[in-house]
């Protein structure tokens, strides 16, 4: 029933949002600690992790889109109702998330990071050391695409005006600065509205 579907969607959404918060609080911190054994500059470490998060969401969204097309083509041959084909596709994906090739997405994220000029691939580290964090983020992002509406991370650019409804400032920020020097963690959005703030460093 529609009521039950809405309840399940709300329950799954709450779990996924909580998972996003846990990754930010714990697994991001673990990744920072790991990277600091290779890289002394904290800004570089935080930029790398932020890039990994954003690229993970992008890769998972692309994988979800391809997977959805494949499922829709397969189900359309035998679908007869009573639910719509679109609902049937979504139900199938929710129940068969294990068919998502997350390892392919992890490779895609690492490839993108290796050519990203903002983090200028440090010779002392291979981004494969972040595979665990990237895999967690890809799985989370893929699941977030099955929500109605889906969740995504906000687009952020260095030098943007600091937005209090979108970000927290890191403790080492200049709290009088009006502009974002760099991003530490992306904000989570639903239909363009921020539901979990990200973290940035502001400097003059």
Sequential pLDDT tens for the chain (204 residues): 444 556 678 899 999 999 999 999 999 999 999 999 989 899 999 999 999 999 999 999 999 999 988 888 777 777 666 677 677 777 777 777 888 999 999 999 999 999 888 886 666 678 999 999 999 999 999 999 999 899 999 999 999 999 999 999 999 999 999 999 999 999 999 999 999 999 999 998
203 found inside a domain: no
125 found inside a domain: yes
Q: Tokens 């959404």 map to which residue?
A: 13
pLDDT at 150: 94
In the chain, the N- to C-terminal Cα span, in Å, equals 54
202 found inside a domain: no
Asked if residues 198 and 180 have their Cβ atoms less than 8 Å apart, the reply is no
Asked if residues 17 and 188 have their Cβ atoms less than 8 Å apart, the reply is yes
pLDDT at 3: 45
Report CA 62 to chain centroid distance, whole Å. 12
Q: Tokens 């494969």 map to which residue?
A: 128
Q: How far apart are CA 86 and CA 110, in angstroms?
A: 32
169 found inside a domain: no
CA 171, 174, 176, 177 torsion-angle sign: negative
Domain count, the chain: 1
28 found inside a domain: yes
Asked if residues 186 and 154 have their Cβ atoms less than 8 Å apart, the reply is yes
**H or E element at residue 202:** strand 198-202
Question: Cα torsion at 50, 52, 55, 56 (round to 10°)?
Answer: -120
Phi, psi of 52 (to 5 degrees): -60, -40
Asked if residues 169 and 202 have their Cβ atoms less than 8 Å apart, the reply is yes
17 found inside a domain: yes
Asked if residues 151 and 16 have their Cβ atoms less than 8 Å apart, the reply is yes
Q: What is residue 183's three-state secondary structure?
A: strand
Question: Cα torsion at 202, 112, 145, 66 (round to 10°)?
Answer: 160
As given in the structure block, the two tokens for residue 29 are 């911190």
Q: What is the pTM of this model?
A: 0.89
DSSP structure class, residue 84: -
87 found inside a domain: yes
Range(s) of the domain holding residue 18: 2-151
């Amino acid at each position: 029933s529609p009521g039950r579907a809405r309840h399940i969607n709300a329950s799954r959404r709450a779990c996924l949002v909580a998972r996003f918060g846990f990754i930010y609080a714990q697994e991001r911190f673990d990744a920072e600690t790991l990277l600091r054994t290779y890289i002394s500059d904290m800004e570089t470490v935080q930029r790398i992790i932020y890039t990994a998060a954003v690229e993970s969401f992008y890769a998972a969204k692309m994988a979800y889109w391809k997977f959805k097309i494949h499922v829709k083509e397969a189900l359309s041959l035998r679908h007869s109702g009573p639910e719509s084909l679109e609902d049937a596709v979504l139900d199938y994906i929710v129940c068969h998330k294990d068919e998502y090739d997350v390892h392919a997405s992890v490779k895609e994220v690492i490839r993108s990071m290796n050519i990203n000029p903002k983090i200028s691939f440090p010779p002392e580290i291979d981004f494969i050391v972040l595979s665990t964090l990237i895999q967690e983020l890809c799985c989370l992002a893929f699941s977030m695409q099955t929500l109605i509406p889906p969740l995504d991370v906000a687009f952020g650019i260095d030098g943007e005006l600091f937005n209090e409804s979108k970000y927290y400032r890191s403790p080492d920020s200049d709290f009088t600065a009006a502009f974002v020097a760099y991003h530490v963690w992306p904000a989570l959005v639903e239909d363009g509205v921020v539901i979990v703030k990200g973290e940035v460093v502001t400097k003059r």
